[in-house]
């Protein structure tokens, strides 16, 4: 009896089974006794970079890997449980078993028990290193994203995921470059969660937000009584807190030139000295940096040390701007669905006109701006085709004196906050949850925007 055929069948039960298999998160493939692929689910197709039609009817060693044993399992020669297998740069833990019908083998099924290798390592750390996992969870120094959180299916994003896999496999300093809102922080999380440091701390520092006189103490810590206002017990810096894990230096291009020497020394020697101290402290830190600036140009302009640049840019990843991506239609629909699920919002349909307008927009704020536009559209439905196009035209026709991107983005943010508050009947707890920020962050945004942005927004 031949292996049961599910693809292209009119049997409703078989069609439903195929639908279920396509919705499981792990990769599944089945072969007949000759090793020919007769069934493959959608997650495996995505991993392999093709569609079901590309793989059906081909030999399993051509489709998955020449190292797979699934064709041997289909001949009854062996059973494989818990064997590692690398497919397209992803390390899988597989189970390969024969399919037996009426007493004889008719094929074999291969299941990748953990197609998400980052999840496997995080699960392992939680199960077998509870003290480390608990310590990191309590401190807040944990990663929140993996490469699976990066949306989009275009060649630009495939290349980005491949670069993230390469960066995860090594501990060299990595420099992420891209415009504001392109997902540099998400990429940093993905690199960490895919590395062998995934169960260790992921410590984030925004170099642009720390006052210049406090950066040394923030990065390297201080001894008790080192300066006015310092704790008498002292305090470890971010390098110490990140030891064994990853230190993410966001907005590295904004670090004052005078402080770059001590940062270079710490990275180069994996040693720090606390402010007010004399004893060197050994650290083991993997460095990931991000910037929206052209650091090579900053080096030429004398605003960034060349030796620090070359140390940080051992491996560089450029994140594409939204206007440069070929997968905008799919990204918009994927992101919209994720936002609706995250915030518990009822769907408001995206018409083809709205989608086309969104695709034509220049998106200076990239994905972050797109998120705001989609949320506001869902909340009040006012971002129709004309308003989006009108907004783009207005930006193109404004006078040079009003080319203030920060002010425009602040007004956009204020409008979104007000829309969320209206949606939640001015309940700030619910509005903060809807916006995906803490109540304290919402209060800070309201305070920072008053009176110029929020008052102007509410009166318009």
Per-residue pLDDT band for 85 (boundaries 50, 70, 90) equals: confident
Whether residue 5 has pLDDT greater than 60: no
Whether residue 410 has pLDDT greater than 60: yes
**Sequence spans of domains, the chain:** 12-115, 119-318, 328-393, 398-460
Whether residue 294 has pLDDT greater than 50: yes
Residues 6+ positions from 73 with CB-CB distance below 8 Å: 79, 80, 96, 97, 98, 108, 110
What confidence score (pLDDT) does residue 241 get?
92
Highest mean pLDDT among 82-91, 143-152, 198-207, 345-354: 198-207
CATH 1.10.8 is the classification of domain 328-393: yes
372 — phi, psi (to 5°)? -65, -40
65 — phi, psi (to 5°)? -170, 145
Q: What's the CATH class of domain 12-115?
A: alpha beta
What confidence score (pLDDT) does residue 25 get?
66
pLDDT for 295-308, tens place per residue?
Answer: 999 999 999 999 99
Bridge partners, residue 84, by sequence: 93
pLDDT for 197-230, tens place per residue?
Answer: 888 899 999 988 888 888 888 899 888 866 666 6
Range with the lowest mean pLDDT among 91-105, 182-196, 254-268? 91-105
Q: What is this structure's pTM?
A: 0.56
* Higher pLDDT, residue 420 or 199: 199
Per-residue pLDDT band for 401 (boundaries 50, 70, 90) equals: very low
Highest mean pLDDT among 122-131, 281-290, 352-361: 281-290
Whether residue 112 has pLDDT greater than 90: no
Mean pLDDT of the chain: 79
> 174 in helix, strand or coil?
strand
Give me the count of residues in the chain: 460
Contact 52, 63 (CB under 8 A): no
Whether residue 122 has pLDDT greater than 70: no
* Higher pLDDT, residue 349 or 132: 349
Whether residue 403 has pLDDT greater than 80: no
Architecture of the domain spanning 119-318 = 3-Layer(aba) Sandwich (3.40)
For range 33-59, the mean pLDDT: 90
Q: How many CA atoms lie within 13 A of 337 on its CB side?
A: 7
Range with the lowest mean pLDDT among 18-32, 83-97, 281-295, 381-395? 381-395
For range 90-109, the mean pLDDT: 83
Per-residue pLDDT band for 101 (boundaries 50, 70, 90) equals: confident
d(CA 88, CA 55): 15
């Amino acid at each position: 009896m031949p292996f049961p055929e599910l693809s292209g069948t009119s049997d409703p039960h078989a069609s439903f089974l195929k639908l279920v298999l396509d919705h499981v998160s792990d990769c599944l493939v089945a072969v007949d006794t000759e090793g020919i692929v007769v069934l493959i689910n959608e997650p495996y197709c995505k991993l392999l970079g093709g569609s079901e039609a590309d793989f059906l009817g081909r030999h399993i060693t051509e489709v998955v890997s020449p190292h797979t044993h699934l064709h041997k399992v289909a001949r009854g020669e062996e059973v494989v449980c818990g064997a590692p297998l690398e497919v397209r740069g992803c390390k899988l833990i597989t189970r390969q078993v024969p399919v037996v019908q009426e007493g004889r083998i008719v094929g074999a099924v291969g299941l990748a028990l953990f197609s998400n290798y980052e999840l496997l390592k995080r699960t392992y750390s939680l199960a077998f290193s509870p003290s480390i996992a608990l310590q990191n969870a309590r401190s807040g120094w944990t990663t929140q994203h993996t490469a699976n959180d990066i949306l989009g299916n275009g060649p630009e994003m495939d290349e980005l995921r491949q670069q993230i896999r390469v960066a995860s496999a090594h501990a060299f300093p990595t420099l992420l470059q891209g415009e504001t809102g392109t997902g540099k922080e998400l990429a940093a999380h993905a690199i960490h969660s895919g590395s062998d440091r995934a169960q260790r701390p992921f410590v984030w520092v925004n170099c642009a937000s720390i006052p210049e006189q406090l950066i040394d103490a923030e990065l390297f810590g201080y001894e008790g009584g080192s300066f006015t206002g310092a704790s008498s017990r002292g305090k470890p810096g971010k390098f110490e807190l990140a030891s064994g894990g990853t230190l993410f230096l966001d907005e590295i291009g904004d670090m004052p030139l005078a402080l770059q020497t001590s940062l270079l020394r710490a990275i180069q020697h994996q040693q720090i000295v606390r402010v007010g101290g004399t004893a060197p402290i050994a650290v083991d830190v993997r460095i990931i940096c991000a910037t929206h600036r052209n650091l090579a140009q900053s080096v030429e302009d004398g605003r960034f040390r060349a030796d620090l640049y070359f140390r940080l840019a051992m491996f560089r990843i450029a994140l594409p701007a939204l206007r440069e991506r070929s997968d905008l239609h799919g990204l918009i629909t994927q992101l919209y669905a994720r936002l609706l699920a995250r915030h518990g919002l009822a769907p408001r349909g995206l018409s083809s006109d709205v989608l086309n307008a969104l695709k034509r927009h220049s998106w200076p704020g990239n994905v972050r701006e797109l998120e705001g536009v989609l949320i506001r559209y869902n909340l009040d439905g006012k971002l129709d085709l004309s308003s989006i196009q009108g907004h783009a035209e207005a930006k193109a026709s404004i006078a040079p004196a009003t080319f203030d991107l920060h002010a425009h983005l602040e007004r956009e943010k204020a409008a979104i906050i007000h829309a969320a508050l209206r949606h939640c009947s001015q309940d700030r707890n619910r509005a903060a949850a809807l916006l995906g920020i803490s109540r304290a962050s919402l209060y800070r945004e309201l305070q920072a925007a008053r009176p110029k942005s929020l008052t102007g927004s509410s009166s318009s």
